Structure formats: structure tokens, C-alpha cells
């Protein structure tokens, strides 16, 4: 593993606070409602009534960074700073993820989808809530293993967080996060860090070059990203209310080729939605 790019050593570090109050500030009900409304307007995420502790823990470091006395002052700052609004969105929208999460989808992709793809067409797949890239690179391993050089393929990953997208592009992960990667894939597609990278693992350069990542807010008009054979939209719908969820899914389905496949998370549902999709397996849909 090369040591040339200092970004690789820095992307897994949280924003370091400047010297400020050491105590943790409490989040009043009024301040929580203001921040809840903010993240709903900016990202379509409905935090509900039970995420007050999560918001407190994630945003307290920003109060310390600016040496603010309370969350009311921080919310005022959000209305004045575009950079801080993006930072708050990053912190409140980042979800825990790991390689080969919900493995049934990867097996279905391999056994039911890839085998029927025409060899003369590029296989395009969108990891629409890719977070820090583990899902996209898991898929990349499956595609390269199945297709080899017989079929050209590419992966597009997106997330609302610019900070998380930077991590995904770098493809560098702490070693404890890769336990679910099959041993064969681990040896073929991952490079173990040494020296200053001890305890880290870098995804193979070829997979990184075939995986493109971009910052996208899925609740707003989608950019021109082309059409896809498969879209993974997993473990993100649970954060939206019903109307936002239906609008979001309908927009993404418009980017699926006829007969294309949509995967959602096992804790999610598209029940009572008017969508051009057929349920073909648990949390697996085909575009009509």
C-alpha cells in the first residue's frame, strides 16, 4: 500500500473540536424540534420523537468546536453558514454500515440477475444510499468474480454526505469492519495496510476505478445518472415518512431499465405505494 496520499490517513478521523467547553450540552425539546424540522427540510429525514439522545451526541462536538453555550446558538449558526448546514446534514444522516450486509441480496444478485444479463451491454448498478462505500465495494467484488472480463460493468454510489463520499472514494477501511468479507474475496480484492496504515485495509485499485461516487440528495430532483439494471436502496427508507418515501422510490424506479431489480432493506416496506414494481422475493422488486 502506498503512503502518497495523506487523505487516506485522515478520512477516518472525526472533525477535531477546537478548545472549548468540556461538558456535554443538553438538548431542549424546543431545540430538538428545530433541528428535527431542519433535517426534514434539508434531507427529507424524519427523526421522529425518539432521537433526541442521538442528535445530542452527534452535534455536541460542533458546539464545542464553536465554543457555543447551547443548541439554540447552534441552530442560529445553521441559518447563517452553508458549510455548517452541510456538516450538520453529514452528522445526522450518516448510518452504520458494513461489508456484505444482508447477504441474501448478494446471493440473489449472483444467482438470479447476473446470469441473464446480455454480454454486449454494460451492466450498471446504483448503490443509492452507499454511505462510506462498503455496500458498493461488496457488490463490485461479486460483479468482478461473476463477470470477469466477459462483461463490462460499473457501479455508481451516492450519499447525501460529502464527508462520507470522500471515505467511499478512498476505499480505505479499518480492519475490524471487514469481518463479513468472504476469505477468497478478501485475498483477491483487498490490500492489507502496513506501517502507518497498520490496522487498515484498502480496496483493490481496479474495483475503486470501476466504482464512481457522488453526493446526491435522493429527496430532490435527480441528476442525469443514466439507466441501471439494478438499484440497491437499503436501510435508508426507514428514515422518511410515507409520502417522501413513495416519491423517492418512484424517482429511483424511473432510472431502472424495464425488468430491472430494486433491493430494499429487510426492515423496510413499500406497502400501500402506487409503484410500477412486482415483489419477486423478500424485499426484492422487479420493474414492470
Q: Which residues are catalytic?
A: 58, 159
How many angstroms separate the CA atoms of 15 and 133, rounded? 20
**Residue that the C-alpha cell 474475496 belongs to:** 185
8, 203 in Cβ contact below 8 A? no
- Helices vs strands, H then E, count in the chain: 11, 10
Burial class (CB in 10 A: 0-12, 13-18, 19+), 213: buried
Nearest partner of 30 among 70, 69, 66, judged by Cα? 70
Give Cβ neighbours of residue 31 (< 8 Å, ≥ 6 apart): 70, 71, 72, 75
Residue 262, beta-bridge partner list: 231, 285
How many angstroms separate the CA atoms of 168 and 240, rounded? 23
Give Cβ neighbours of residue 203 (< 8 Å, ≥ 6 apart): 133, 137, 140, 171, 172, 173, 189, 190, 191
Q: What are phi and psi of 10, to 5 degrees?
A: -105, -20
141, 247 in Cβ contact below 8 A? no
* Number of other residues whose CB lies within 10 A of the CB of residue 27: 22
Q: Which three cell numbers stand for residue 228?
A: 441501471
How many angstroms separate the CA atoms of 41 and 62, rounded? 20
Amino acid at each position: 500500500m502506498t503512503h502518497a496520499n495523506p487523505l487516506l490517513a485522515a478520512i477516518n478521523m472525526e472533525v477535531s473540536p477546537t478548545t472549548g467547553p468540556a461538558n456535554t450540552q443538553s438538548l431542549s425539546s424546543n431545540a430538538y424540534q428545530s433541528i428535527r424540522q431542519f433535517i426534514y427540510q434539508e434531507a427529507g429525514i424524519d427523526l421522529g420523537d425518539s432521537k433526541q439522545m442521538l442528535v445530542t451526541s452527534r452535534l455536541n462536538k460542533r458546539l464545542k468546536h464553536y465554543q457555543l453555550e447551547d443548541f439554540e446558538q447552534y441552530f442560529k449558526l445553521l441559518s447563517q453558514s452553508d458549510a455548517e448546514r452541510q456538516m450538520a446534514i453529514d452528522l445526522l444522516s450518516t448510518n452504520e454500515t458494513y461489508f456484505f450486509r444482508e447477504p441474501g441480496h448478494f446471493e440473489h444478485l449472483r444467482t438470479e440477475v447476473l446470469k441473464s444479463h446480455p454480454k454486449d451491454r454494460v451492466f450498471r448498478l446504483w448503490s443509492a444510499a452507499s454511505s462510506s462505500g462498503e455496500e458498493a465495494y461488496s457488490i463490485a467484488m461479486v460483479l468482478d468474480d461473476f463477470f470477469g472480463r466477459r462483461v463490462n460493468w460499473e457501479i455508481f454510489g451516492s450519499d447525501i454526505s460529502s464527508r462520507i463520499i470522500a471515505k467511499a472514494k478512498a476505499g480505505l477501511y479499518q480492519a475490524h469492519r471487514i469481518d463479513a468479507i468472504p476469505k477468497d474475496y478478501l485475498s483477491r480484492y483487498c490490500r492489507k495496510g502496513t506501517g502507518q496504515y497498520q490496522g487498515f485495509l484498502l480496496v483493490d485499485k481496479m474495483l475503486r476505478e470501476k466504482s464512481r461516487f457522488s453526493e446526491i440528495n435522493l429527496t430532490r430532483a435527480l441528476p442525469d445518472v443514466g439507466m441501471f439494471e439494478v438499484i440497491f436502496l437499503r436501510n435508508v427508507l426507514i428514515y422518511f415518512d410515507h409520502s417522501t418515501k413513495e416519491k423517492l422510490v418512484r424517482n429511483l424506479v424511473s432510472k431502472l431499465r424495464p425488468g430491472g431489480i430494486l433491493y430494499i432493506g429487510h426492515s423496510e416496506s413499500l406497502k400501500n405505494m402506487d409503484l410500477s414494481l412486482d415483489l419477486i422475493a423478500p424485499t426484492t422488486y422487479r420493474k414492470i
